[in-house]
Structure 1
Amino acid sequence: MTSLQDIIDPILQNKDIIAKQQNIGVLRVTGLDSRKFLQGQITCDINKLSHDHGLYGAICSIKGRIISSFYLVQESDDILMLMSKDLIEKTLLHLRKYAVFFKAELVDNQDTFVIHTRIISQRLEAVSKTLPEHFITIHNNETITLTLCQDPIEIQWLVTTLENTTVEEKNEKLAALAILAARPLITLEQSETILPQWLNMQSTGGISFTKGCYTGQEIVARMQYRGKSKKQLILVTWQGHSDTTLDITDGQGKTIGQVFAVANIEETYFAQIILNIEPNEMDKILLGNQEVTLLPLPYPLDIKK
């Protein structure tokens, strides 16, 4: 397997990166019952959310499919849900059906906050390969910093108000490397088509199997413990443009997956792929006639928790 560092280092060239996230919006949850309300709707354990620790999770349908995935951040007594902008309205409509039974309010804050990706080129000497259920958040000078990934590079999100002009973009074309965090947020087009385990959420703190009931919990738990699906998220890379709408196939032409998300820096492409089989069961990974290279994930995959 190709080393991520061998690919990343020549691209970064010791450059730090800050780029505005045009497609990420913020949904605020406020009120005395905000935590109690969310606990019955999200896959992660809200009790592990704090001022210093954010969460990754999803809202599911009764069929266990992801309606929206998000990062959670605590701001004072409120909770900020960072998700794909095109899912804010759908998520609001879904959650409001349940929020009427609680002292909780949902507020569309798309026009209040701006999100930047920051990638730090300096390699850390020692990084734990075990991904915690939460990620570190730091509140400083009206900026909330979320550290999403530390290996093979440190990837952060900066959450600021629109009035805050202290964050300046630099080397923004290199921000495509953020796809390597492999902790994705789905889009409206993908909503209700994907199970959480297909995005490795059982291995990235996105699902709690001990918190109790939430919408879709029975299906998600059954998938985990009965192991009926081999689908999982993998990372790949290749050189040159290819049609990413095509199926992923093996050396015999059998369909083994689909492209979930793709990013590129000039001629170097990176993609997250939902694979239908175990990686050790395939001889090649092909996108059309283009053979792609499997990359290591920044976290170990846990079969069951």
Structure 2
Amino acid sequence: MINDFFKKFLNKEAIIDKYGLKTNFNFSEEISKIYSQKTMSILSNKVLIKCTGDDAENFLNTQFTNDVKNMKNNSVMLSGYCNPKGRLISVLYIIQLDKEFYLYTTLDTFEPLLQKLNMYKMMSKVEFVIQKDILVGIAAKNENNSLINCVLNTKEAKKIDQSVVFKIDDNQIVLQTNPKEIESLLDIEDSSILGYKSFDFMDIDSIIPFINDSQVESYTPQMLSLDLLNGVSFSKGCYPGQEIVARTHYLGEAKKSLCKITFASKKEISINDKLETADDKKSAGEILNLVKINNEKYNSLAVLRKDMLNKNLTINGATVEIMEQVTKND
């Protein structure tokens, strides 16, 4: 769905799908705008959930892979939510603002996430409320962003009147606001309005391993390198799947790892296409997230077998270049 506020900004080339505004311009043009102009992406494929109640902090800490109790005020933390077998149901950001918490994740995974959280909360005093107002992503490359009079450090969050703004990465800011406040917070008239796919491109560029509905319960945190991205604590107490995640950390090693890749193909590539070795066609991994930048070029996050990282890889016949393998963050 597209908020009525943004309908007047739709371009004649706009593409709308089941989530909302996918692209407002030609996609290669949208990417160019990210690097050269003030932009904001309508995040119709993401969701922000507010968590309130006296037991919110304690309960959330028993559910997620990261240490909620270790969060500083007005901060942002990457985390995951697993089933009892240690397979991820959702990858998300936790935002802490005073005594309130927010969860930022994909529209594809919020329903199974909330279903499990509500099942486990039992008598805990905690409530989850989906924020249904405007949610936009702001490109903050070279400080060329559309926020007015608001400076954020990376992984910092602020509440401005009824709006919530937080910086998940050096180049990405997320704002949840409403039609009454948006024009006082954003330089709307001097900015380009983009579709959600432009922020997917930035998620891939920043190596943020969000998952979609077809990938729920497919990967452990280590397979998505969530431990290397500071999304897992190995010193906190129990959470669903903790024993398996910890055992992999202390007694073994995940056989797969997250990588950023690129390739060019005249054939249409989908998220369901598999990566394989060029010579003997052995399975090498899967696509996690994917954007098509122009007529042929794709950027992607892929889950690759570690024993295949030094092999020549292809996808649907196209040669794959590994741009970056995830290593330990500082």
Normalising by structure 1, report the TM-score. 0.82
Q: 1:51 aligns with which of 69, 73, 87?
A: 73
The aligned residue for residue 117 of structure 1 is: 137
Secondary structure of the structure 2 residue equivalent to 1:296: strand
CA distance in 1, matches of 2:71, 2:215: 26
Question: How is 1:131-210 mapped onto 2 (pairs within 5 angstroms)?
Answer: 135-140=155-160, 142-150=162-170, 154-161=171-178, 163-166=180-183, 167=186, 168=188, 170=192, 172=194, 174-178=198-202, 179-210=204-235
CA deviations on 1:264-286 (whole Å, 9 max, x unpaired) are 2323321110001256432x121
The aligned residue for residue 281 of structure 1 is: 310
* 2:259–2:322 contact (8 Å) kept in structure 1: yes
CA deviations on 1:36-59 (whole Å, 9 max, x unpaired) are 111111101001323321111111
1:73 is aligned to 2:102: no
**Comparing 182-191 and 134-143, the one that deviates more:** 134-143
| Cα-Cα RMSD | 2.7
Deviation at 1:294, TM superposition (A): 1.5
Q: Using the aligned pairs only, state the percent identity.
A: 22
CA distance in 1, matches of 2:315, 2:223: 19
Deviation at 1:164, TM superposition (A): 3.5
Q: Which has the higher contact order (CA 8 A, sep 6+)?
A: 1
Deviation at 1:123, TM superposition (A): 7.9
The aligned residue for residue 258 of structure 1 is: 286
The aligned residue for residue 3 of structure 1 is: none
CA distance in 2, matches of 1:273, 1:99: 34
Structure 1 alignment gaps of length 5 or more:
1-8, 125-133
Deviation at 1:82, TM superposition (A): 1.1
Is the alpha carbon distance of 1:175 and 1:228 closer, same or farther for their aligned partners in structure 2, counting shifts above 3 Å?
closer
Structure 2 alignment gaps of length 5 or more:
1-30, 145-153
The aligned residue for residue 243 of structure 1 is: 269
* 2:33–2:192 contact (8 Å) kept in structure 1: no
Is the alpha carbon distance of 1:54 and 1:220 closer, same or farther for their aligned partners in structure 2, counting shifts above 3 Å?
same
**Comparing 161-170 and 72-81, the one that deviates more:** 161-170
Following TM superposition, the consecutive aligned residue runs of length 4 or more in structure 1 with deviations greater than 6 angstroms are none
CA distance in 2, matches of 1:176, 1:97: 30
1:218 is aligned to 2:218: no
1:272 is aligned to 2:301: yes
The aligned residue for residue 128 of structure 1 is: none
Secondary structure of the structure 2 residue equivalent to 1:54: strand
CA deviations on 1:156-198 (whole Å, 9 max, x unpaired) are 2223246543244616264443121112222222111111111
